[in-house]
């Protein structure tokens, strides 16, 4: 992949986004630059615009004013589809129903699909990568279990493992701590920190509760009423 202009993985320049049918913009005049090798926490109360910010970063939502670049590419351009392959996104509501029979291992391996040609199967390196990531997130013992039979917190860790195993340049997580107990929160936040450091990748975490990760983040962005209220480094 070509190198990034100025090292920015995400950049927002005077961005306003609104949902169709709503007269109130969900984010307003947002300016933000997120760099390579950064762990970023986005926080703020319900309705602050955090999820909208994530989905606008990926180009799933388009601004009506301003410009967004993802890995150097304008999200209004068709080329955004090509760079989105290098990104992972775990949305807020991902729970799988109990009849979902794919094992956790299958679910994580599916994350490699965008990198492969249609006739290319799973190889030994893929399996090794899954096992490494599973160990990081302490889910080795869950790999052969059907995903639908796991608890909410276990499913959450499997989805995080899937997002990381495929080695994205950028991984976005919306409220990843919501169904986790204290110990799992710690495992997840240290795994994310380690991933950023090992791969020089960028991880963006949205969480209304800052306590599980604020001490590990390089940058904390506080949002309120669709605006960025404060950006803290270190």
Ligand X SMILES: Nc1ncnc2c1ncn2[C@@H]1O[C@H](COP(=O)(O)OP(=O)(O)O)[C@@H](O)[C@H]1O
- Cα–Cα dist 190/213, whole Å: 8
Q: Is residue 94 involved in binding ligand X (CB under 6 A)?
A: no
Out of 18, 43, 51, 202, which residue is the one contacting Mg ion (CB under 5 A)? 51
- Cα–Cα dist 110/122, whole Å: 9
Q: Is residue 19 involved in binding ligand X (CB under 6 A)?
A: yes
Q: Is residue 49 involved in binding ligand X (CB under 6 A)?
A: yes
Out of 22, 78, 93, 118, which residue is the one contacting ligand X (CB under 6 A)? 22
Cβ 72 to Mg ion shortest distance, Å: 26
- Cα–Cα dist 194/129, whole Å: 15
Report the residue number, 50 or 84, with the smaller CB distance to ligand X. Answer: 50
Site for ligand X in 102-161 (CB under 6 A): none
Report the residue number, 56 or 133, with the smaller CB distance to ligand X. Answer: 56
Report the residue number, 6 or 47, with the smaller CB distance to ligand X. Answer: 47
Report the residue number, 112 or 173, with the smaller CB distance to ligand X. Answer: 173
CA atoms within 13 A on the CB side of 224: 4
Out of 1, 14, 31, 47, which residue is the one contacting ligand X (CB under 6 A)? 47
Number of amino acids touching ligand X (CB under 6 A): 11
Cβ 208 to ligand X shortest distance, Å: 7
Cβ 5 to ligand X shortest distance, Å: 27
The residue to which tokens 């005077």 are assigned: 14
Q: Which one of ligand X, Mg ion, none interacts with residue 22, CB within 5 to 8 A by kind?
A: ligand X
Total residue length of the chain: 234
- Cα–Cα dist 6/72, whole Å: 9
Cβ 92 to ligand X shortest distance, Å: 8
Q: Is residue 50 involved in binding ligand X (CB under 6 A)?
A: yes
Cβ 131 to ligand X shortest distance, Å: 34
- Which residues of the chain form contacts with Mg ion (CB under 5 A)? 51
Q: Which residues bind ligand X (CB under 6 A)?
A: 19, 22, 26, 44, 46-52
């Amino acid at each position: 992949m070509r190198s990034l202009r100025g090292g920015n993985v995400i950049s927002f320049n005077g961005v306003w986004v609104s949902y169709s049918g709503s007269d109130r913009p969900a984010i307003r005049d947002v300016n933000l630059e997120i760099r390579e090798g950064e762990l970023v926490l986005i926080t703020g109360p319900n309705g602050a615009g955090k999820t909208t910010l994530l989905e606008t970063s990926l180009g799933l939502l388009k601004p009506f004013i301003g410009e967004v670049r993802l890995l150097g590419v304008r999200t209004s351009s068709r080329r955004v589809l090509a760079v989105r392959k290098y990104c992972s996104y775990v949305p807020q509501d991902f729970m799988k129903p109990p009849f979902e029979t794919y094992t956790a291992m299958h679910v994580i391996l599916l994350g490699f699909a965008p990198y492969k040609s249609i006739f290319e199967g799973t190889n030994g390196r893929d399996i090794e990568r899954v096992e490494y990531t599973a160990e990081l997130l302490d889910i080795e013992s869950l790999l052969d279990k059907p995903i639908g039979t796991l608890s909410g917190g276990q499913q959450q860790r499997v989805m995080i493992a899937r997002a990381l195993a495929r080695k994205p340049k950028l991984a976005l997580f919306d409220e990843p701590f919501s169904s986790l107990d204290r110990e799992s929160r710690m495992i997840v936040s240290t795994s994310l920190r380690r991933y950023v450091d090992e791969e020089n990748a960028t991880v963006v975490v949205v969480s209304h509760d800052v306590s599980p990760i604020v001490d590990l983040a390089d940058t904390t962005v506080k949002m309120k009423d669709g605006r960025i209220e404060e950006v803290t480094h270190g």
